């Protein structure tokens, strides 16, 4: 149908029951684009209708160099989704009746540039996927309002966002090149012997704990690398950049309270993602396998080998295959480390403020009072070097309350009024001068990393007679009968990642990847390989077959790709999870 046909259909159902809107489902050809009405909601209070607007690439005008590789394509798609969202704020009237009537929205993201399903760019076309609340009065169709949305506003949104000629070419170029430079820098870190890099001039502080935009004002301190850690890199677009390189090994970030220790670590934990221009952390880059580790009282643990950290528990609990329904701070932090390593991480990011004190350190006075034979915990200070020597695991640790880590650190960075200073030599002198020396308790080794196999029977998404998987905000997933708490998974940054997490696992179950023989890490490998090959659309339970055959189906316009470490974190926090070792 064309716009005239759509208008005629809308007129014919004016005042009819809301389900009459289903008559407009299908494709509609406008002069400059095609509107696909893929799914029509059955009620004005239900999830909005799903639609797509597609422009032929010959008209859109985005030349191939703008999306010639995966990084550029992701950045361009991200930019188009944001442009469409900006146009919504400019052109859409908004509330037009009952429930979600008049709503138009697109998944456009925050400060990070993530692979999303909200926009698609290819040689043939550009496309945005959006949601629209078809107008109603009560539960009856408001056709004139729907016509104003679909025939009036949507064309304006498309014309303002999906044609290169109308976009700010300078901003578009900067957006794509910023992502490309960040990825190029991240890829150079390992070869340079670094785990992270922070460019001079970066703005690390945020507006607040709940606002991720950069702090502004006269008191904001731009980052300046200290002598001794200065490094330079050549980037494909920006060229030569200078800043601070954090070496592999064990790095301490020390300093007084409120001087920027945790701010630096937070920038590093978010530095696993690319950021939009103007964020301030565009060149605060961390290796992609960096995982933030914290204590997590109360979480369930299913057969994790925490023996390198905790052994000889009372009543003979097996710490080589430890399980509990209600972990303590120390056992949860130990499990979080081992699970991250199992998923492939070789970089741990730890802040003492969110750690269990008895897991991190046991000083010489306590060693004298409570002998090792009576203490099950081997503190992290005694395993951090073994982790590096045996498994190549580096650690960046914020520590303001204990100097015991001076003896095991390769690099010590002091933050003073948000300015870093290298104090490694001074820390070593202090450590060498101490009179009472604590005794290492690790026995000199960490030990092997054991493989776990998740059992399919423990991962059912069934809830009554149906299967139910849904994100409940950023930090919670409903999976069948259980709610998975992700509140302590700190590197989840977007609700669309959370939504994808649940559907990734559900997809893996449908594909038979959880076969009671394949290890946790290998299952995740298979999931991400499919996404790389066929796109994130493939995980949708409603459009999987269509995605495999290149058809649009019921488009999943609200997914963002999570990392493998967050997939593992979700699986490990399922209270139903069972594994074999």
Length of the chain: 581
pTM comes to 0.94
Q: How buried is 316 (Cβ within 10 angstroms: 0-12 exposed, 13-18 middle, 19+ buried)?
A: exposed
In the chain (581 residues long), the average pLDDT of successive 10-residue segments reads: 94 94 95 94 92 97 96 98 97 91 95 97 97 94 95 97 97 98 98 98 91 89 96 97 98 94 97 97 98 97 96 84 95 98 98 96 87 88 96 96 93 96 96 84 89 97 92 96 96 97 96 96 98 92 59 73 98 97 90
Angle at 86 between CA 80 and CA 92, to 5 degrees: 120
Tokens 């220790």 belong to residue: 261
| Long-range residue pairs from 407-412, CB within 8 A, at least 24 positions apart, any chain | 407/431, 408/250, 408/381, 408/384, 409/250, 409/251, 409/252, 410/247, 410/249, 410/250, 410/251, 411/229, 411/246, 411/247, 411/249, 411/250, 411/251, 411/252, 412/251, 412/252, 412/254
pLDDT for position 137: 93
Q: Domains in the chain, please, with CATH?
A: 3-167 (no CATH), 246-450 (3.40.50), 453-580 (no CATH)
Q: Can you state the angle between helices 520-534 and 564-572, rounded to 10 degrees?
A: 130
Distances (CA, A) of 422 to 33, 225, 312, 385, 470: 57, 10, 39, 20, 47
pLDDT for position 436: 75
Report phi then psi at 290, rounded to 5.
-70, 130
Contact between residue 81 and residue 43 where contact means Cβ atoms under 8 Å apart: no
Q: What is the DSSP string of 516-547?
A: SSS-HHHHHHHHHHHHHHH-GGGG-TTTHHHH
Neighbouring CB atoms inside 10 A of 213's CB total 13
Structure token pair of residue 325: 């329904």
Contact between residue 169 and residue 267 where contact means Cβ atoms under 8 Å apart: no
Please name the helix (run of DSSP H) or strand (run of DSSP E) that holds residue 213, with its range, or none. strand 211-214
Q: Which of helix, strand or coil describes residue 333? A: helix
Contact between residue 431 and residue 438 where contact means Cβ atoms under 8 Å apart: no
Please name the helix (run of DSSP H) or strand (run of DSSP E) that holds residue 178, with its range, or none. helix 169-189
pLDDT for position 437: 80
Distance of alpha carbon 445 from alpha carbon 422, whole angstroms: 29
Strands 462-463 and 211-214 come out as: unpaired
pLDDT for position 110: 95
Angle at 341 between CA 338 and CA 345, to 5 degrees: 145
Distances (CA, A) of 386 to 85, 194, 376, 391, 526: 49, 19, 18, 8, 31
Structure token pair of residue 163: 């044609």
């Amino acid at each position: 149908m064309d716009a005239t046909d759509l208008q005629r259909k809308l007129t014919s159902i004016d005042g009819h029951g809301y389900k009459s809107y289903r008559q407009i489902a299908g494709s509609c050809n406008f002069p400059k684009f095609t509107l696909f009405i893929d799914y029509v909601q059955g009620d004005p209070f239900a999830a909005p209708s799903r639609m797509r607007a597609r422009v032929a690439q010959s008209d859109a005008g985005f030349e191939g160099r703008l999306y010639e590789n995966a990084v550029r394509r992701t950045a361009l798609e991200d930019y188009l989704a944001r442009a469409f969202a900006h146009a919504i704020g400019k052109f859409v009237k908004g509330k037009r009746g009952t429930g979600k009537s008049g709503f138009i929205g697109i998944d456009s993201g925050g400060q990070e540039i993530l692979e999303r399903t909200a926009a698609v760019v290819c040689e043939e076309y550009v496309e945005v996927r959006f949601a629209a609340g078809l107008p109603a009065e009560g539960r009856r169709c408001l056709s004139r309002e729907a016509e104003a949305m679909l025939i009036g506003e949507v064309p304006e949104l498309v014309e303002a966002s999906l044609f290169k000629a109308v976009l700010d070419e300078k901003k578009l170029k900067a957006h794509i090149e910023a992502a490309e430079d960040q990825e190029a820098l991240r890829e150079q870190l390992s070869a340079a012997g670094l785990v992270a890099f922070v460019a001079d001039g970066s703005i690390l502080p945020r507006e607040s704990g709940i606002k991720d935009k950069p702090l502004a004002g006269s008191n904001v301190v731009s980052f300046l690398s200290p002598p001794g850690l200065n490094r330079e890199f050549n980037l494909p677009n920006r060229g030569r950049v200078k800043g601070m390189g954090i070496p592999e090994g064990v790095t301490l970030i020390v300093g007084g309270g409120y001087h920027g220790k945790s701010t630096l670590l937070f920038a590093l934990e978010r530095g696993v993602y690319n950021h939009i221009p103007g964020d301030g952390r565009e060149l605060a880059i961390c290796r992609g396998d960096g995982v933030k580790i914290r204590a997590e009282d109360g979480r369930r643990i299913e057969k994790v080998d925490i023996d390198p950290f905790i052994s000889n528990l009372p009543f003979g609990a097996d710490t080589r295959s430890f399980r509990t329904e209600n972990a303590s701070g120390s056992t949860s932090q130990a499990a979080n480390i081992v699970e991250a390593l199992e998923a492939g991480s070789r970089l741990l990011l730890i802040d003492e403020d969110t750690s269990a004190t008895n897991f991190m350190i046991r000083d010489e006075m306590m060693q004298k009072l409570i002998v090792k034979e009576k203490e099950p915990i081997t503190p992290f200070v005694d395993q951090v070097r073994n982790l590096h020597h045996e498994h190549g695991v580096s650690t960046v640790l914020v520590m303001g309350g204990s100097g015991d880590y001076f003896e095991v650190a390769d690099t010590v960075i002091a933050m003073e009024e948000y300015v870093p200073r290298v104090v490694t030599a001074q820390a070593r002198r202090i450590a060498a001068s101490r009179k009472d020396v604590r005794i290492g308790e690790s026995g000199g080794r960490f030990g092997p990393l054991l493989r776990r196999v998740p059992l399919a029977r423990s991962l059912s998404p069934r809830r009554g007679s149906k299967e139910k998987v849904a994100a409940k905000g950023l930090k919670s997933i409903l999976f069948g009968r259980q709610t998975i708490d992700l509140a302590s998974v700190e590197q989840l940054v977007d609700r669309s990642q959370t939504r994808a997490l649940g559907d990734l696992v559900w997809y893996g179950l449908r594909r038979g990847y959880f076969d009671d023989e394949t290890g946790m890490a290998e299952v995740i490998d298979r999931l991400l390989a499919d996404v790389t090959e066929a796109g994130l659309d493939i995980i949708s339970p409603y459009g999987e077959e269509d995605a495999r055959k290149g058809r649009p189906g019921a488009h999943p316009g609200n997914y963002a790709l999570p990392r493998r470490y967050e997939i593992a974190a979700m699986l490990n926090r399922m209270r139903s999870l069972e594994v074999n070792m």
